[in-house]
Chain A
Amino acid sequence: MQFMLLFSRQGKLRLQKWYVPLSDKEKKKITRELVQTVLARKPKMCSFLEWRDLKIVYKRYASLYFCCAIEDQDNELITLEIIHRYVELLDKYFGSVCELDIIFNFEKAYFILDEFLLGGEVQETSKKNVLKAIEQADLLQEVFFLCCLTKAIGCLGEVWEGS
């Protein structure tokens, strides 16, 4: 996979993950063109289209378009499965995911994507493992947060006692 884009029906970009090195200007240009092209498609049309020298696989879930660009030898049908698997992961994690969840917790969405795909290829085929890894990361974050909090309170206490 070369890149994955998530955008709303109004054309606002919610997530972008690039697996090829491109300059910012090029990324913006590609995003703009692709969003226009995909949004122009009618609902009954098939999920694949050819754009430049890439194959674009897109699927619409509620108000979000999930759009992947794959190379010539890649399998389009399995890319559809990849998109679906990602949506399932998000769903499991957020519990009935909607666009707002992704807007407000976009860093979590990126974490989940990075656990699932690496360099554009699937690295973990088990749903359970991906979610377990995210849970562990969350736990670590909380523990870290609590430690910081106790430390801060401790410091404050010292300062008080001092004064």
Chain B
Amino acid sequence: MNATMVVPQLVKILRTLVTTGYSTEHSISGVSDPFLQVRILRLLRILGRNHEESSETMNDLLAQVATNTDTSRNAGSAVLFETVLTIMDIRSAPGLRVLAVNILGRFLLNNDKNIRYVALTSLLRMVQSDHSAVQRHRPTVVECLREPDASLSRRALELSLALVNSSNVRAMTQELQSFLESCPPDLRADCASGILLAAERFAPTKRWHIDTILRVLTTAGIYVRDDAVANLTQLIGEAQELHAYSVRRLYSALAEDISQQPLVQVAAWCIGEYGDLLLEGSCEETEPLQVEEEEVLALLEKVLQSHVSQPATRGYALTALMKLSTRLRGDSNRIRQVVSIYGSCLDVELQQRAVEYNTLFQKYDHMRAAILEKMPLVERGGSQVDGEAKESKEAQLSETALVSTEPQASKLLDLLDLLDGTSGDAQPPPPLDPSPGGALVHLLDLPGAPLPPPSIPNLRVFEREGLQLNLSFVRPSGTPTLLLIMVTATNTSGADVTHFICQAAVPKSFQLQLQAPSGDTLPAQGGLPVTQLLRILNPNKAPLRLKLRLTYNHFGQSVQEIFEVNNLPVETWQ
């Protein structure tokens, strides 16, 4: 009994049911035996899935059921819905699929909420496969966004987000943003991230993109994801021509409301970077805004002192203030004062920054301008930095290498943390690194996705009278400077090896740790091997050299062997 035999029979039964009608006791409001119809359709769905032939046999029947069923009452709609589900699942003709989508579209216009709900759910499933057909019903879907019923509006939201494409992005974003303003709080996070995602994929112009993100941040700032801030700063940084525009918009937004943390962070960063553009002249794209230096400083100080500001935000504000000390033409006394006050702040992060900036003012004032220059663009993913501007600066600051890396590194840390989503103290910069360029590279390496440790081939290092020594290497991916060597000693000779001791020596720049061996006796004839773990730390990535010393008793003689391990694979130390 296989599908090809059963399907024609089922088709016949269903056809009879639909056309000639059945008995009154089985039908509900004019639809003959809807329970049976739904059952048969469900069975046809299962049989037709992935089965070309059966699907073809069913095509006509499904079209017939779809057109003949009276949908004024729920029973008919139920049958029609099942038909649509069946059409979606089997290998149906494209015309039939379009018919299914149109039926769903009709459902959407129905007054009954339940029917609209099932229509939205099914359209969501179909949007991937029949995108253009579903697009035609976009206006109706957007209408459903305004539903007071939360489950309906959630469905409508998901579907609307799936329907955004490059041609309708402006209109859709408009609708979605007005929805964002009025929707219940549990939907806001999804809506906000949906809008941001859609904006990223389909933004027609950079300015529109920045505007959209700005609007989302002002309406629903607390609901956006953590990396939205990083994305926005990246975006603004890239759009050279829009620096003046962005900084003005952000300044006005900040002046109105300092409670939305992501907005404040981005605004603080922008004002810090492009403060000079804010103060000079006017920008054609926004209303003329005359901003005084004092106002800007007052605003940043307000952010710093406000109790609604989170620690990260205050860090941003402090750094921005510092950057402004070089951008503003006036006296930087006010800034110096603020910075020195925060030198005794309780928050360790702020305190560290303040102390560093203080030092910058006092001892290294001549270098302040160079350090606080405009940031070069960080490439997306944070994997590389536009190195030239940085490296030339590094060359000048030879003996002050430490101080120079810290403020740069802390700024970069912010961005990297946000890109990573990890907390600020997870990756402190290595303090006494002689090469600052190297330190930065290390920092930037860490947030990348860890690669699986490449397997290094084992090495047979010693063989004498049946006693063999093998080395196996592991480079754990989390710690690139660590090498684990497992020394395995095996005995295939006829006599036991006793008092087996293995010692190792490495060059001075390495750190070696020998763990206790698993034993000191190797039974004869391939008995249990002795293993010992060596941990080698190689912070300088110098070529590895390893000397081993073995002492043991074998065949009644005491043996001592000292040898250097040759042919160490390159992967052990690179």
Q: Which residues of A contact B (CB under 8 A)?
A: 44-50, 75-78, 80-82, 84-85, 122, 125-129
Within 8 A of A (CB), among B145-185: 148-152
When chains A and B are docked, how far (Å) is the Cα of A45 from the Cα of B79?
23
Interface centre among A49, A50, A80, A126 (most CB of B within 10 A): A126
CB contacts (< 8 Å) of A45 on chain B: these are: 113, 149-151
Is A127 within 8 A of B25, CB to CB?
yes
Q: Which residues of A contact B28 (CB under 8 A)?
A: 81, 85
> Do residues A46 and B35 form an inter-chain contact, with CB atoms below 8 A?
no
13 contacts between A and B (CB under 8 A): A48-B118, A49-B151, A75-B85, A77-B78, A78-B34, A78-B35, A78-B38, A78-B82, A80-B74, A80-B78, A80-B114, A85-B28, A126-B23
When distances are taken between beta carbons in the complex, the residues of chain A under 8 Å from B114 are 46-48, 76-77, 80
* CB atoms of A44 and B148 under 8 A apart: yes
A129 to B150 alpha-carbon distance, docked (Å): 41
- Tell me whether B151 and A77 are in contact (CB under 8 A): no
Beyond A44-B113, A46-B149, A49-B151, 13 additional pairs, beta carbon < 8 A = A44-B148, A46-B114, A48-B118, A48-B151, A75-B78, A77-B74, A77-B81, A81-B28, A81-B35, A82-B35, A122-B35, A125-B26, A125-B36
Contacts of B152 in A (CB 8 A): 46
> Which of A44, A75, A78, A129 has most chain B Cβ within 10 Å?
A78
CB distance from B260 to the nearest CB of A (A): 31
Contacts of B33 in A (CB 8 A): 125
**Residue B115 at the A interface, CB < 8 A?**
yes
Please give me the residue from chain B that is nearest to A123 by CB atom.
Answer: B35
Closest residue of B by beta carbon distance from A77: B78
B462 within 8 A of A: no
B510 an interface residue at 8 Å Cβ cutoff? no
- B271 on the A face (CB < 8 A): no
Main SS class of interface, B: helix
A residues in contact with B25, CB < 8 Å: 126-129
- State whether B82 touches A75 (Cβ < 8 A): yes
Residues of A within 8 A of B23 (CB): 126
- Report Cα–Cα, A84/B113, bound state, in Å: 17
Return chain B residues, CB-CB under 8 Å to A82: 35
Q: Does B77 interact with chain A (Cβ within 8 Å)?
A: yes
Q: Is B263 an interface residue (CB 8 A)?
A: no
Q: How far is the CB of A42 from chain B (nearest CB, A)?
A: 8
Inter-chain contacts of A80 with B (CB < 8 A) = 74, 78, 114
Interface residues of B in 43-98 (CB under 8 A from A): 74-75, 77-79, 81-82, 85
For B78, give its contact among A44, A47, A81, A129 (CB under 8 Å). A81
- Which residues of chain A have C-beta atoms less than 8 A from B85's C-beta? 75
B117 interface hit (Cβ, 8 Å):
yes
A77 touches B118 (CB 8 A): yes
CB-defined contacts of A76 to chain B, threshold 8 Å: 114, 117-118
The residue on A at minimum CB distance from B82 is A75
- Complex Cα–Cα for A50 and B150 (A): 12
> How far does the alpha carbon of A44 sit from the alpha carbon of B150 in the complex, in Å?
11
Interface membership of chain B positions 19-40, coded 1 if the CB is closer than 8 angstroms to chain A and 0 otherwise: 0000101101000011110110
Answer whether A46 and B78 are a contact pair too, CB < 8 Å, given A75-B85, A80-B114, A82-B35. no
B115 CB contacts on chain A under 8 angstroms: 77
User: How far is B113's CA from A76's CA once the two chains are assembled, in angstroms?
Assistant: 13
Scoring A45, A49, A122 by chain B CB atoms within 10 A of each residue's CB, the highest score goes to A45
In the A-B complex, the 6 residue pairs with the smallest Cβ-Cβ separation, listed nearest first, are A77-B78, A46-B113, A78-B78, A128-B25, A125-B35, A122-B35
Bound Cα distance A152, B346 (Å): 92
CA distance A125 to B23 in the complex (A): 11
Q: How far is the CA of A126 from the CA of B33 in the complex (A)?
A: 8
User: How far, in Å, is B549 (CB) from chain A's closest CB?
Assistant: 63
Residue of A nearest to B41 (CB): A75
Measured in the bound complex, the distance between the Cα atoms of B152 and A50 in whole Å is 11
Partner of A46, one of B26, B39, B79, B117: B117
Residues of B within 8 A of A75 (CB): 38, 42, 78, 81-82, 85
* CB-CB nearest in chain B for A131: B25
Report A-chain residues with C-beta under 8 Å of the C-beta of B148: 44
| C-alpha spacing A34/B114, complex, angstroms | 19
Query: From residue 108 to 163 of chain B, which have CB atoms closer than 8 A to chain A?
Result: 113-118, 148-152
- Chain B residue contacts of A48, Cβ below 8 A: 114, 117-118, 151
Residues of B contacting A50 in the complex (Cβ-Cβ under 8 angstroms): 151
User: How long is the Cα–Cα vector from A76 to B28 in the complex, in angstroms?
Assistant: 17
Say whether, besides A77-B74, A81-B34, A126 and B117 are in contact (CB < 8 Å).
Answer: no
Complex formed: what's the CA distance from A81 to B115 in Å? 13
Expressed in whole angstroms, the Cα–Cα distance for A122 and B28 within the complex equals: 15
Bound-state CA distance A5–B490 (Å) is 69
A123 and B36 alpha carbons, distance in the complex (Å) = 10
Give A78 to B77 CA distance when docked, in angstroms.
Answer: 9
For B78, the chain A residues whose CB sits under 8 A away are: 75, 77-78, 80-81
Q: How far is the CA of A45 from the CA of B155 in the complex (A)?
A: 14
Q: Chain B residues near A81 (CB, 8 Å)?
A: 28, 34-35, 74-75, 78
B90 → A minimal CB distance (Å): 14
User: Per-residue CB proximity of B545-573 to A under 8 Å, as 1/0?
Assistant: 00000000000000000000000000000
B113 smallest CB distance to A (angstroms): 4
- How long is the Cα–Cα vector from A77 to B115 in the complex, in angstroms? 8
Contacts of B39 in A (CB 8 A): 122
Shortest distance between the CB of A122 and any CB in chain B (Å)? 5
A44 surroundings in chain B (CB, below 8 A):
113, 148-149
Query: Which chain B residues border A125 with CB–CB below 8 Å?
Result: 26, 33, 35-36
Q: Which residue of B lies closest to A82 (CB)?
A: B35
Report how far A122 CA is from B36 CA in the complex, Å.
9
- List of A residues within 8 angstroms of B75 by Cβ: 81
A142 to B153, alpha carbons, bound, how many Å? 55
Measured in the bound complex, the distance between the Cα atoms of B120 and A50 in whole Å is 14
